[in-house]
Amino acid sequence: MAEARTRHKYDSGPAREVAEAAREADWHGEGFLRDLFMGRCHFHVIHPYPLRELAAERPEFLRFEGEVRRFLAEKVDADAIDKGGEYPAEILDELRRMRAFGMRVPTEYGGLGFNHVEYGRIMKLLGSRDANLTALLSAHQSIGVPRPLILFGSEELKKRYLPRCARGAISGFALTEALAGSDPARLSATAELSPDGTHYVLNGSKLWCTNGTIAEILVVMARDPKSGAISAFVVETKWPGVEVVHRSRFLGVGALSNAALHFDRVKVPRENLIGEEGRGLKIALATLNAGRLSIPAALVGAAKVALELDRKWASIRAQWGTEIGRHEAIAHKLAWIAATTYAMESLSDLAHALADRRGYDIRLEAAAAKEWNSVKGWQICDETMQIRGGRGYEKKSSLEARGEAGVAVERWLRDARGSLITEGSSEIMHLFMAREAVRKHLQVSAVLLDPKAKASKKIAAAPGIAWFYVTWYLGLWLRGVANPFRFRRLGRLGGPMRFVERSSRRLARQLFHGIVAHGSGLAKRQAFLFRIVNVANELLAIAAVVSRAATTARVGGPSAAEELTLAERFAAASARKVKALFQDLRHNSDATDYELGRSVLGGQHAWLEAGAVGLGLSAEDLAPRAPAASRDSETAHRARPGEMA
């Protein structure tokens, strides 16, 4: 127990305060998922489905899309890139020639000026071919230098760096540290303004900076050593004191240029501050809101290729006298993969279209798309390996060496697994969404939930709070009988949407009951909150497929009948999952599981580990450590920081 207590001395209070201060104070425009948490199903916000916007028929974009498709099909050997562990120079040169690094850079700064929908379509293509190139371009444009500068940078910074980014100066985003990932209160890198006010002095280390070993320019988050305020800076890797101290390697995405970085008294010009001092985390969160949409789009591309393989393989592989696709077990897998791929694309495309829409706040939909598609994309790759059997587990090179068609399912699975961790792990996405889900309740009941508030303030606020909840809670029940035929124009899809509407009101009630039961302690009830978020994500996915299928049917699309079948199948399966999640809110083993987990943490069950060879490491040996500067490790890359590879 002493060991456990030692590891848990860190106070989470400052972490919550820093995170709360970094949040957007208000919602800017509409939000379908935000309203869903309050029991309001505003289907008109996402329906009709934005088919016209998603068509993306601008000639300049279509030319680029065709060029990227040919490039990926003819010149990109994803397995060779993965095995070699580097980005080939000719591939990077071709990307620069196509101006692929400037997809999201406005045309006035030399970029292609693509919107979210167009960018999403390219990410879908990339994801269908190679996760390494997807990570390279996504990290550069979604979270690297271009996006923060477009949103918050001065005109001087934009003119200086955006044209370079568009021409192919690779960029990255440096926030994570050995002891600070999703917990910004532990950020240790510092940037102190010089006495003459001309520059900041940057010191510290960063971990897992994608593109870091080949980047010319970085966005770096660092805190003021006196005030503790976190700011964002543009840092060039060629400057004295910037060092790549380690090249990180991972299970998948073998060529990922991921670096541990060290900054030793780096002089950062004052004009390289992005936005205002102390707004670094707000800039990071705003960048990630839409920036993380590249992941769900890429996973759609991967799912589409998996579906193609599953369909073709199941039609020619025979067992017990018939094709395996005719066996019920495999047919059910094919049905699930097809319906889920349709839902993934519906959700991802909708989120991209909403990101382009004025007056819409994308933060929850972006988080939901990233989380939901990451989980489903991983599951589809896993099921694909099962359908392929031994050939799925076997490497492509081995398959080809013995004369069979080489399809790298094992690489797909390795690459897909990382999506549940990068740009916000599944757990962090759940916590972020849960916090936004209770935002309105925290605003209304702030005084009552504040243990430091005086009794007189609570008494004074009580009537207004009571009136809000009486009218709101009654409204949740009354809306159920007000318009029972609300979705009848959807025909066969009206049933799934009525389920979404009913479930949204039930979701809001359950969330309210949790607040009443646990008060400010609800934040620690993560199992409860995660189920709430999972329900909301499923309802969003159902609404997305219903809107898409219904809109396609209305305009007479050639795939209308097939889309209706997929939408109905997905909605039915998702509804069963939602019902189970609601059941688990009331009947679960959360309390006993927590106590058991704490006892495991305390070492009471260490006897169960006997009989294995063991790690040979203590808990202290496993503690995170900042990378040491000038360490002789795997930093030898074909391109030094700041050089064109």
Compute how many other C-beta atoms are within 10 angstroms of the C-beta atom of residue 234.
22
User: Where would I find the H helices in 394-438?
Assistant: 396-401, 409-417, 426-437
| The amino acid at 547 | S
Q: Which two tokens stand for residue 125?
A: 């293509």
Smallest CA-to-CA distance from 51 within 564, 570, 557, 563 is with 557
496 touches 542 (CB < 8 A)? yes
The DSSP element (H or E) to which 583 belongs, if any, is helix 560-586
User: Where would I find the H helices in 154-198?
Assistant: 155-167
* Distant-in-sequence, close-in-space partners of 199: CB < 8 Å, separation ≥ 6: 193, 267, 268, 269, 270
User: Where would I find the H helices in 38-140?
Assistant: 51-55, 59-75, 78-84, 89-97, 116-127, 131-138
551 touches 579 (CB < 8 A)? no
Q: What distances in angstroms separate CA 455 from CA 23, 140, 228, 573, one per listed residue?
A: 28, 52, 33, 49
Q: Which two tokens stand for residue 274?
A: 């992005």
Instruction: For residues 441 and 621, give the distance between their C-alpha atoms in angstroms, rounded to a whole number.
Output: 43
Rg from Cα positions in the chain: 26
205 beta partners: 262
Instruction: For residues 190 and 630, give the distance between their C-alpha atoms in angstroms, rounded to a whole number.
Output: 19
Instruction: For residues 364 and 80, give the distance between their C-alpha atoms in angstroms, rounded to a whole number.
Output: 37
- Three-class secondary structure of residue 56 per DSSP: coil
312 beta partners: none
Helix, strand, coil percentages in the chain from 3-state DSSP, rounded to 5: 60, 10, 30
* Distant-in-sequence, close-in-space partners of 179: CB < 8 Å, separation ≥ 6: 186, 188, 624, 626
Torsion of CA 555, 558, 559, 561, to 10 degrees: 80
Q: Which two tokens stand for residue 440?
A: 């309105």
Catalytic residue among 383, 423, 436, 563: 423
Q: What distances in angstroms separate CA 524 from CA 9, 38, 532, 584, one per listed residue?
A: 17, 21, 14, 17
DSSP state of 229: -
283 touches 361 (CB < 8 A)? no
- Catalytic residue flag (residue 74): no
372 touches 339 (CB < 8 A)? no
Instruction: For residues 148 and 123, give the distance between their C-alpha atoms in angstroms, rounded to a whole number.
Output: 19
Helix (H), strand (E) counts: the chain: 26, 10
Smallest CA-to-CA distance from 534 within 574, 496, 497, 495 is with 574
The DSSP element (H or E) to which 269 belongs, if any, is strand 258-269
Where do we find the tokens 């990451």? Answer: 374
Q: What distances in angstroms separate CA 566 from CA 329, 487, 548, 573, one per listed residue?
A: 18, 19, 11, 11
- Three-class secondary structure of residue 545 per DSSP: helix
Q: Which residues are catalytic?
A: 423
